[in-house]
Structure 1
Amino acid sequence: MTRLASASAATAYQKQWFAGLHAHDGPLALVNADAPQEIFRTMGIPYVVNQWWASIVAAKRRTQDYLALLRERGYPDYVEQYSSTSLASLFDDDPANAPWGGLPRPSIVLAETTGDASRKIFDVWDSEPGITFYPLESAAENDVPTRWWELMPRRWEEAIGSDRLDLMTGELEGLIRFLEQTTGLVFSETRFGEVMALVNEQQEWNRRTRDLIAKARPCPIAVTDSIPSVMVPQWHRGTEWARDAARALHDEVAARVESGTAVCADERARLMWIGRGLWFDLDFYRRFQDSHGAVFVWSMYLAIAADGYLRYGDDPLRALAARFAAFSDQLYTPPWSAEWYVKEARHHGVDGVVHLVSDDARGSYFTTRALRAAGIPVLELHADNVDARQSSPEAISAVVGDWLDREVCG
């Protein structure tokens, strides 16, 4: 099946943009995927997303080389590999031979402190000359909203809670002051409002695309196309290019739905993939189409873009705080996450769920339990999404094939 033009265009754009970073002379940030990148966009500070870089390294089969660099320095190579791969890039003595020319050295690192191991990874960044780590708190709330995805676009204060929003808004104000003082750049509230408006436009297109795919029979695109088509523009949120790329994806999907284009002409089972992308084996997602007529129709990347990012309101900075104060809850914390996955499974009419459970997963038990309680077969794969040492592609494929035979397609 022909690859989506939007996927090819997004990958080409990212390569060209990344190549330009190597000639960049100025502040450069490395940020976690769930960090408020819009601040950097507003101030014109380029940034690389930590987990995106790890996915590139894994796709190029270089993860083990980077983990070895951690071992050589006495750091564990078996904890949060998805976050520590970029740290290992600091220790690469031959970055010219690294994927895409290697990771440029950042001057600022931004992340939420979600656990002891994560904090220690970023403390190592902070110990390196010329690099400053700016940490954000990870807050919680006892009251959990029902159907949060309906509240988030405009009633986010109600969904998240004022205390959490007060904390993150204050932290964002501190981040802005820090960046102004250390870079000499100025934060423009007018420009920030434009960035936030563009992000909302982009996510509205993603929401329409998600709903098209949910209703389409047969599935019109492969998740290996939807992921770059969605996520590369996500890393460029707040630009006209990203907004237009999201619209181009929607239009391409709509055309495929209209023409009856199918990922698998003999579609017999619709599958949902819960978890981070299996970056070391992207062929996995198409492996069961011929043998079982099984198509992965869902991944979290398009779905969270559709439900997790929209924030409207008169206070753009507080709206940005609302975008990220509960971001990890939406994906990982029950009942936030569990209820959302059940909603998405039903929305897409899936026949089964493959659930990737990593060592650092949070709330995975409750997600699986909620889906099974809803009558949906679930296979838990206990593996790391970038480190294939304990889970070869062959072993994973055998387990999934057997599960399809027994519980989904039998």
Structure 2
Amino acid sequence: MNARLSSASAATAYQRQWFADLRKEAAQGGDLALVNADAPQEIFRTMGIPYVVNQWWASIVTAKRRAQDYLGLLRERGYPDDSEQYSSIPLASAFDPDPADAPWGGLPRPSIVLAETTGDVSRKIFDIWDTQPGVSFYPLESAAENDVPTRWWELMPRDWEQAVGSDRLDLMTGELEGLIRFLEQTTGRVFSETRFAEVMDLVNEQQEWNRRTRDLIARARPCPLPVNDSIPSVMIPQWHRGTVWARDAARAFHDEVADRVSAGTAVCPGERARLMWIGRGLWFDLDFYRRFEESHGAVFVWSMYLAIAADGYLRYGGDPLRALAARFAAFSDQLYTPPWSAEWYVKEARHHGVDGVVHLVSEDARGSYFTTRALEAAGIPVLELHADNVDARSADGDALTRTVGDWLERRVHAGD
């Protein structure tokens, strides 16, 4: 079954038109923010400030085979081209001598950049942004908590204060209040608490649809859709969360998956193995995910994008700004910090009934050792692929394919 999801095509078409409109607005001197994927974008949505997600732009550059050109622009200026490429490729857009030839017409220069400073490299990337003419950087702290909640995914929707910790929430709530003041002073726009509550409600509705979709796929035998279709179907609406369009797009994605499940649609009619992909999207080779269906009957049924939308975003009750702080204060923990992340990956692997896990480990990976160890301890075979998701220099595509094929035969299909 090779027909692409209508929801994926519709989301991509929407994103192209949105970006074209955004470029026109920016060319006329409008405000524009560049924000990290794990930043509280809901504030920008509330204030009507257009924003581009840093890592989304890196994925577009990479998918269009331009990553090496952009990394070269960093190298020419004496900046590292082999560290945090996923976050630094968009910075290179500021140095592009011919932006008209860039993917999708090029990234307009932002006036504001926002990121959580999760490490020294990340901070330095955004400090360089801050030195560019007309660009202001607003940093958010990255805090930690000694007490780790058990089964955090059950607590997060309504018991988020307990799950995240009051000290962390106090810190991030204060920082968000400062961000609002900064944006009001910088842009002249006003933050509306009424509008903010509407945005938060729409985000919760959107994630409820994502949760239903995740659970449909987890139960479905055979798998009804390719994982590289699910990524745009869920993530493009995620970048627009807090809008009616995004909520409705998440519902359309769910309904399309439900129709496929009811019809018994199979990505791979000869499905023999269900696989989980842990790590960021392999943007330089998205066809990779389909490569093992015919040869090994192996289907990737899981990626972190839909799963974290299902478990990581829902926040009900309490002060809306504090609830937003709870959405992002521990976001990196959920994906990368053991035991938060390791326990969640094991839970998701069991929920989806996977037979094996392919784990992409990049140079900047955090907690990857513990994730692999936890899955193996749960009896789930794991293959680690050491490569960067946007830098094709780090991996030979043919070698990766052979490695996965050999692993499938040795460990996943060994008992067949």
Q: 1:194 aligns to what?
A: 198
Unaligned runs of 5+ in 2: none
RMSD between superposed Cα atoms in Å: 0.5
Q: Per-residue deviation at 1:22?
A: 1.3
- Find the partner of 1:403 among 401, 407, 412: 407
CA distance in 1, matches of 2:324, 2:23: 29
Q: 1:254 aligns to what?
A: 258
CA distance in 2, matches of 1:53, 1:197: 27
Letter in 2 for 1:223: V
Could you state the TM-score of these two structures normalised by the residue count of structure 1?
1.00
Letter in 2 for 1:15: R
CA distance in 1, matches of 2:217, 2:397: 27
Aligned positions of 1:95-106 closer than 5 A: 95-106=99-110
- Find the partner of 2:362 among 350, 358, 380: 358
CA distance in 1, matches of 2:22, 2:197: 26
Q: 1:230 aligns to what?
A: 234
Q: Per-residue deviation at 1:13?
A: 0.2
Q: 2:5 aligns to what?
A: 4
Task: Give the SS at the match of 1:389.
Answer: helix
Letter in 2 for 1:392: D
Task: Give the SS at the match of 1:199.
Answer: helix
Instruction: Say yes or no: does 1:240 pair with 2:234.
Output: no
Q: How many residues align?
A: 410
CA distance in 2, matches of 1:160, 1:314: 14
CA distance in 2, matches of 1:93, 1:11: 27
Q: Per-residue deviation at 1:15?
A: 0.3
Instruction: Say yes or no: does 1:14 pair with 2:18.
Output: no
CA distance in 2, matches of 1:352, 1:22: 43
Q: 2:24 aligns to what?
A: 23
Letter in 2 for 1:17: W
Unaligned runs of 5+ in 1: none
Task: Give the SS at the match of 1:133.
Answer: strand
Q: 1:325 aligns to what?
A: 329
Instruction: Say yes or no: does 1:79 pair with 2:80.
Output: no
Aligned positions of 1:290-305 closer than 5 A: 290-305=294-309
Q: 1:390 aligns to what?
A: 394
Q: Per-residue deviation at 1:398?
A: 1.0
Counting aligned pairs with the same residue, the percent is 85
CA distance in 1, matches of 2:50, 2:394: 35
- Find the partner of 2:143 among 132, 136, 139: 139
Q: Per-residue deviation at 1:390?
A: 2.1
Letter in 2 for 1:346: R
CA distance in 2, matches of 1:91, 1:393: 29
CA distance in 1, matches of 2:125, 2:338: 26
CA distance in 2, matches of 1:208, 1:30: 30
Where do 4+ consecutive residues of structure 1 move more than 6 Å?
A: none
Q: Per-residue deviation at 1:122?
A: 0.3
Q: 1:121 aligns to what?
A: 125
Letter in 1 for 2:20: A
Deviations 1:4-51 (A, max 9, x none): 000000000000000111111311000000000000000000000000
Task: Give the SS at the match of 1:22.
Answer: helix
CA distance in 2, matches of 1:401, 1:97: 38
